[in-house]
Amino acid sequence: MTTVLERIRRRYETTDKKCPDCGYVDEEGNWESRTDGRRLVYRHVCPSCDATREHTFNLK
């Protein structure tokens, strides 16, 4: 379980840095994660234009 979550986190923090709206590249990769026990939600707010991106994963 931890391994899967770590892999997802790493994937977004390392590959999904560029804002699709303004093109700002967030080198910090400030993805926030939260979970309600059934779903894992990764959320990123662009520091430049405040565009929000979310990715939701169902936890088994």
Instruction: Count how many Cα atoms sit within 13 Å of the Cα of residue 27 in the half-sphere of its side chain.
Output: 0
Q: Are 55 and 41 in contact (CB under 8 A)?
A: yes
**Segment lying near Zn ion (by CB under 5 A), choices 13-21, 27-35, 37-45, 52-60:** 13-21
Task: Kindly provide the residue ranges of all beta strands, DSSP E only, lying in 1-60, ordered along the sequence.
Answer: 32-35, 39-45, 52-58
Residue 25 is a binding residue for Zn ion (CB under 5 A): no
Residue 49 is a binding residue for Zn ion (CB under 5 A): yes
- How near is the Cβ of 16 to Zn ion at its closest, in Å? 13
Residue choice 48, 52, 54, 59 for contact with Zn ion (CB under 5 A): 48
Q: Measured from the CB atom, is 9 or 26 closer to Zn ion?
A: 26
**CB neighbourhood size of 58 (10 A):** 7
